[in-house]
Amino acid sequence: MNEKSCSFHNEEELRDGQVKSVPAGNSPPKDKDSSALLAFRGIPISELKNHGLLRALTADANGWAPVVSPEVLRAQEEWEAVQNIQPDTGSQTDQPAQLISFSEALQHFQTIDLSSFKKRIQPTIRRTGLAALRHCLFGPPKLHQGLREERDLVLTIAQCGLDSQDPTHGRVLKTIYKKLTGSKFDCALHGDHWEDLGFQGANPATDLRGAGFLALLHLLYLVMDSKTLLMAQEIFRLSHHHIQQFPFCLMSVNITRIAIQALREECLSRECNRQQKVIPVVNSFYAATFLHLAHIWKTQQKTIADSGFVLKDLEVLAKKSPRRLLKTLEIYLAGVSKGQTSLLGAQKCCGAAAPHSKDLTFTGVCDLPPHSSEGMWPV
């Protein structure tokens, strides 16, 4: 048989997909695998996938399996594990809590049942004898009838404590923390980080005695307004002064107590009647009192050892001249909006360059001209 016939037989056999005999002129193959290799010679690669012999070889591997290293197997398992991980889009536990505004927090208290707390309030101070006669003749006017419900709401909130199970309460706390510290992340409702803000311990609820949740609402009001936020942040920095440091939040709670007493003693009634509002007046009074405290603290070089005396004198002043404190705040906020007031720098003056200073500069009550109808009690 010549080479042509051999080639012809090979092609015929390969088309049938079977090997029947060994062509002449070649040594006989030693085994089945050798005959298969000879059979594939001369076949285009593109035709191999359609050949029956190749399919037979791949289908019948006689129990043979490829050898794979342990490293490859481990890598494959890790990759399959990564592919099986599904993103948890439904869970909201890891999402940062949304900031809450003062109006939203106030609305929360306006919509829940506070009847049990309202029973505890004493809207006004009870006076008897000469004190009652003097107050009737020379004291401030009584609050208008239409404003008394709003006043009672303020005093009722002051009876409410901090409930860590209430989501709104938690949002208020976290908003205060974020705005004062500049943090973008949530914080735990209990922990040492609250001591950094000026609470006495790891649980802010223990420091709200005498002011209740109203103390936190006042802080929220202070940090959620762009103008008063600047004031809050600057006072917060002053509270961390290496010599004049003081507990910021604890001092704020004491100022809220002063505001509550001023409201109950009708010291704010004239201003509330004039504005036909109670809550905005109480908020502004709180902020103005805090501003004056910081002014006294900085300019008179007060330290934590002076805190009791400062707060006592501050309460006397606030009750005596609430309108003057409110005017001080009004002037300060007007300067902030025009970029002319900075608590950490000298106040800018129109027409002249202000000297560079790192000292706190406040527009305090003592900087205002005397008022014709209200006296000024020294602090």
Tokens of 55: 């399919």
Task: Say what the pLDDT of residue 340 is.
Answer: 65
pLDDT per residue as tens digits for the range 249-258: 999 999 999 9
Residue 360's nearest CA partner among 284, 293, 310 is: 293
Average pLDDT over residues 26-36: 53
Contact 143, 281 (CB under 8 A): no
Contact 206, 189 (CB under 8 A): no
d(CA 5, CA 8): 5
Average pLDDT over residues 2-7: 49
Task: Say what the pLDDT of residue 86 is.
Answer: 44
Q: Is 156 inside a domain boundary?
A: yes
Contact 197, 248 (CB under 8 A): yes
pLDDT per residue as tens digits for the range 162-193: 998 999 999 999 999 999 998 888 888 999 99
Average pLDDT over residues 138-160: 92
**Model confidence band, residue 338 (pLDDT cutoffs 50, 70, 90):** confident
Residue 110, number of CB atoms within 10 A of its CB? 11
Contact 324, 373 (CB under 8 A): no
pLDDT at 133 over 60: yes
Residue 160's nearest CA partner among 88, 235, 106 is: 106
| DSSP-based three-state secondary structure for 263 | helix
Mean pLDDT (the chain) is 76
Q: Is 97 inside a domain boundary?
A: no
Q: Is 207 inside a domain boundary?
A: yes
d(CA 46, CA 52): 14
Q: Is 159 inside a domain boundary?
A: yes
The domain of 165 spans: 102-338
Ranges 40-49, 78-87, 110-119, 185-194, most confident: 110-119
pLDDT at 132 over 80: no
**Model confidence band, residue 91 (pLDDT cutoffs 50, 70, 90):** very low
Tokens of 6: 């051999």
Q: Is 211 inside a domain boundary?
A: yes
d(CA 356, CA 346): 6
Q: Is 189 inside a domain boundary?
A: yes
- Residue 26: phi and psi, rounded to 5, are -125, 150
**Model confidence band, residue 124 (pLDDT cutoffs 50, 70, 90):** confident
The residue type found at 220 is L
Q: Is 213 inside a domain boundary?
A: yes
| DSSP-based three-state secondary structure for 15 | helix
Give just the sign of the alpha carbon dihedral 273, 275, 277, 282: negative
Task: Say what the pLDDT of residue 44 is.
Answer: 61
Q: Is 319 inside a domain boundary?
A: yes
Residue 175's nearest CA partner among 224, 214, 121, 138 is: 224
Point out the least confidently predicted range of 84-98, 232-246, 365-379: 365-379
Using CA atoms of 307, 267, 219, 244 in order, give the dihedral in degrees to the nearest 10.
Answer: -20
**Model confidence band, residue 36 (pLDDT cutoffs 50, 70, 90):** low
More confident residue, 57 or 169: 169
Give me the percent of the chain exceeding a pLDDT of 70: 63
**Model confidence band, residue 37 (pLDDT cutoffs 50, 70, 90):** low
Task: Say what the pLDDT of residue 141 is.
Answer: 86
Domain count, the chain: 1
Angle at 249 between CA 316 and CA 364, to 5 degrees: 45
**Model confidence band, residue 350 (pLDDT cutoffs 50, 70, 90):** very low
Alpha helices (runs of H) in the chain, residue ranges in sequence order: 3-16, 32-39, 45-48, 52-59, 70-84, 102-111, 115-118, 129-138, 148-157, 167-181, 193-196, 213-224, 226-238, 248-264, 269-275, 279-299, 307-320, 322-337
